[in-house]
Amino acid sequence: MKNPINGLNKIFESRIRLGVMSILMVNEEINFNDLKQMLEVTDGNLATHLVNLEENGFIKVHKGFIGRKTNTTYSITKPGEKAFNDHIIALEHMIKGMK
């Protein structure tokens, strides 16, 4: 049998990155402040993780404006969705293995 841990994605070891991906899986588009509020993290911390996810091609960033205020929204990409699903499957295999 294949080792289930192989499916685990290093990038998702961070709880914040995994949290961002979980939220983006069920929300078409979400802005920075809503993400910050839900994950209860600081601006800088969240920004770093978002850059990391963007560089890996897992999320798309849209820069927009509401009036003069910037409104940056994020959405998940196809590779991001696949990586997340693989990660979940690996986690579920691990849970089954533990029982």
Partner 1 sequence: MIWKCEKLFYTLYYKVLFMGEINQNPGEIVKDIKQLMERSSRFISLSGLSGIAAGICALAGVLVAYIMLDDIGGRTNYRVYYRLPLSEDTLTLKLLGLAAATFALAFISAFYLTWRKAKKNNLPVWDHTSRRLFWNMIIPMVAGGLFMLGMLQYGEWRFVAPCSLVFYGLALVNASKYTLTEIRYLGYCDIALGLINMQFIGYGLYFWAAGFGVLHIIYGAIMWQKYERKS
In the complex, the residues that contact partner 1 under the rule CB under 8 A are: 13, 15, 18-19, 22-23, 25-27, 30-31, 34, 37-38, 88, 91-92, 94-95, 98
**Do residues 31 and 72 lie in contact, with contact meaning Cβ atoms separated by under 8 Å?**
yes
**In the chain, where do the E strands start and end?**
30-31, 59-66, 69-76
C-alpha pair distances (Å), 83 with each of 2, 37, 93? 18, 25, 15
Both tokens assigned to 12 = 């998702």
Please tell me what DSSP assigns to residue 6.
Answer: G
Q: How far is the CB of 26 from partner 1 (least distance, A)?
A: 4
